[in-house]
Amino acid sequence: MRRFSLLSPLLRLRQAALLMLAALILSACTASSSLDIQKVPPPQEPLTEKFAAIVIDANSGKVLYENDADEPRYPASLTKMMTVYLMFDELAAGRANLSTPIFISPNAAKAPPSKLGLKAGEALTFDEAIRAQSVKSANDISVAIAEHIGGTEANFAAMMTAKARALGMSRTRFTNASGLPDPDMVTTARDMARLGLALRQNHGRHYAYWRQTEMALDDRTVRGHNRTLGRIQGADGIKTGYTRASGFNLATSVRYQGRSIVAVVMGEKSAAIRDQRMHSIISQTLPLASVR
């Protein structure tokens, strides 16, 4: 009798713990099933050696998924996220406004594609230059922005790296403003996700630029490269990128039904595979994100 009376409270505690665990699992399942999002299968192609990815819950800071998130990768045009971040800094500090002109130098005019193709001596506004980065990913405008803010592109790249350190991007080094190939310019999926979060949190007033899919320039309409906008529920940016060395990269922000995440996929074989991989990862992780 004494032995039974000693074990009985332990058995009751164990039973209570099991019931609590079951309730938590049921609650999590209910929360996930209540989210109106369709699960998307991953692409059939295997992961490449360059592949790296991460998903961060913007509400809690929790990492919901990662794969080689701290391994060095080439940022390609994800670099322009930082170029624009420093433009937003200029606006916030009052050193520029959306009408401030940015002139095209001979050096900027000869930048390789993708570009707007403006001639040396021509100018565009801060507003147009931001759109040229977020929508068109124009390398000539990246150089012009760098020279306008930093005096030279090399000085601007140093400013970019210093800002990266201030934002906790400890494994990132920028050497130019566009993301054109340079073996010395490296980042990680985690660092680019941190930059995506910083763009939303620190420059939310101007974040809508990243949602845009086209821009008007003179008598033409310039369309962007980000095909996930309008395809992934709640997606509101951010940026695509590609060079031969980097593979196909994508940083994506999603805000949907109180959940908020930033996801980065790097090193895919094609834009289509990259987009499907991103869509699949988001569909699997968004139900796990906290609700605010």
C-alpha to C-alpha distance for 91 and 202, rounded to whole angstroms: 12
Instruction: Report the mean per-residue pLDDT for the chain.
Output: 89
pLDDT at res. 231:
86
- The model's pLDDT over 246-273, given as tens digits with 9 standing for 90+, comes to 999 999 999 999 999 999 999 999 999 9
Q: Which two tokens stand for residue 5?
A: 């009376």
**Rg of the chain, C-alpha, whole Å:** 23
- The model's pLDDT over 274-290, given as tens digits with 9 standing for 90+, comes to 999 999 999 999 999 99
Supply the pTM of this predicted model: 0.86
Domain ranges of the chain: 38-288
- The model's pLDDT over 67-85, given as tens digits with 9 standing for 90+, comes to 999 999 999 999 999 999 9
Residue 224 has pLDDT above 80, yes or no: no
Residue 8 has pLDDT above 80, yes or no: no
Q: Which two tokens stand for residue 136?
A: 């068109």
pLDDT at res. 226:
81
Residue 34 has pLDDT above 70, yes or no: no
Residue 12 has pLDDT above 70, yes or no: no
The set of residues, in sequence order, having a beta carbon less than 8 Å from that of 169 and lying 6+ positions away, is: 187, 191, 192, 194, 195
Q: Which two tokens stand for residue 21?
A: 């665990």
Q: Got the DSSP string for 39-79? A: --PPPSSPPPTT-EEEEEETTT--EEEEESTTS-B--GGGG
CATH class label, 38-288: alpha beta
